Structure 1
Amino acid sequence: MQDPVRVVVADDHPVILFGAEQALLKFPGLQVVARARQSTELVKLLQTIACDVLVTDLAMPGGQYGDGLPLIGYLRRNFPNLPIVVLTMLENAALLKRLSELGVTSVVNKSDDLSHIGLAVQHVSRNLEYMSPSVKASLDTLRMNAGGKNEDVMLSRRELEVVRLFVSGMTIKEIAEQLNRSIKTISTQKNTAMRKLGIERDSELFQYAQSNGLLNLSSHSVDDTGSAS
């Protein structure tokens, strides 16, 4: 008899955590061995128990190791052989591309049926890629819009600065006053950044900022290419 696939599930929302576990229990051969609510707890678990696959929320603030892409990067560096299934509500070009660069081969949108979590675990445990329907549709759209071009999404220093200040709670007018630019210029830079990222709503911009660790960046920690340093 084949050994079960041991799964650790991490999410800061108890309802999602419970739902994901229940969805996984419906799949023969999958065993939930531990649960975590934030990154401190998650890393401690991974250091002390045997785990074959990690299922983790992307936006999971409050822990010592952060959340979003910084956390995924930390996990990939410190547990390089551990397959990761990422749970998220956010789908945009920059995020999906970065996750892929970090070695994540499975992303499940929380708006899809939770059964896709189990399917994702089954796939990554066999070194196969798996994207839930919403994520796959987004990727297909991105490829169509790209028209065969492979263009990196890169924000300028000023665009990134405006995004960082906006998601910190400042208004366009307040940002203009702080940076000594016109309101029109700030608004244009914000809209340009959103267009580059494939984002249409402010709520998605907040999610993107959290996932990329921008909420914790200071203005001097961004280089001229728009990358966090």
Structure 2
Amino acid sequence: MRREQHAGPLGVAIVDNDVCALDMMGLLIDRIRPPMTVLWKAVRAQDALEHCLFDERLPDVLVLDLALNGISGVDVCRAIRAKNGTIGIIGVSSYPLEPYRERMAEAGAQALFNKTQIRSRTFEGALRRAGSGVSVEGFKDFMTASTAHERLAGTRQTAVSLSRRELDVLRLYAQGMTTDEVCIRLNITANTALSHVNHVAHKLGVRRRTEAIRACQAMHLLD
């Protein structure tokens, strides 16, 4: 099923925790003709999730690195796809692709490329097809964005490997409780509560508790 297109060039977003690689991909995509527009670039998974779930203008296609700090690109892909059926998602990596291929297909991506292929016509064609909501040639095991969304929508899979107790702690902080109140409610020590928060922040690639709460809320993990 084709998506309804806005007027103007295809809108592309890029996520990569390597700033040099991020800038290089942005430059290469800016040079494509007919033109595409790089709407935004992000180094953190949290920022990408917030853009893709809450921005007024969403990208037509997201170029997503698979090795992000503290969270897998596969998990980011799944979290976005469960909530959105229009953004095309193309995974990229500097590492061998085979270990990721099945997981990215199941997570709702439309294609998967090695970063050495970004200059190729094949990659350019994949951007245009994924951004238009149609199947990408050569990736028959990958669903369209809309089909993948229908399959994943409403699932309660945790997008990152957070434990039940980690989510319990973060949920209480999100409700405005103090550390003492969290400890009393869960019968844990302050050190344990803070340790859970630090573990969550590390997995999400953020530094502050408020950032961890926002990231989990964006993925509806605290509902």
C-alpha distance in 1 between matches for 2:28 and 2:137: 16
* Amino acid in structure 1 at the alignment position of 2:92: L
Letter of the aligned partner of 2:35 in structure 1?
G
Q: 1:129 aligns with which of 136, 140, 156?
A: 136
The aligned length equals: 133
Q: Does the 8 Å contact 2:67/2:93 carry over to 1?
A: yes
Native 8 Å contact 1:10 1:37 kept in 2: yes
Q: Return the offset for 1:17.
A: 0.7
* Aligned equivalent of 1:42: 48
- Cross-structure match for 1:10: 15
Matched residue, 2:180: none
Q: 1:128 to 1:57 in 2, by over 3 A?
A: same
Deviations along 1:132-169, one digit per CA (max 9) or x if unpaired, are xxx99xx9xxxxxxxxxxxxxxxxxxxxxxxxxxxxxx
* Runs of 4+ in structure 1 over 4 Å off: none
Change (3 A) 1:52 1:121: same
Cα distance in 2 for residues equivalent to 1:69 and 1:100? 9
Where relative contact order (Cα < 8 A, 6+ residues apart) is larger, the structure is 2
Cα distance change of structure 1 residues 119 and 18 upon mapping to structure 2, 3 Å threshold: farther
Q: CA deviation at 1:40?
A: 0.8
Q: Of the candidates 62, 69, 73, which is equivalent to residue 61 of structure 1?
A: 69
Residue aligning to 1:120? 126
Correspondence 1:184-195 to 2 at 5 A: none
Contact 1:19–1:114 (8 Å) recurs in 2: no
Secondary structure of the 1:76 match is helix
Q: Percent identity?
A: 20
Distance in 1 of aligned mates of 2:8 and 2:29: 16
Determine the C-alpha separation between the residues in 2 that align with 1:8 and 1:97. 23
Q: What is the CA-CA distance between 1:93 and the residue it aligns to?
A: 4.2
- CA–CA distance in structure 2, aligned partners of residues 34 and 55 of structure 1: 11
Please tell me the root mean square deviation across aligned C-alpha atoms, in Å.
2.9
CA contact (8 A) 1:8 1:35 kept: yes
Q: What residue number does 2:79 align with?
A: 74
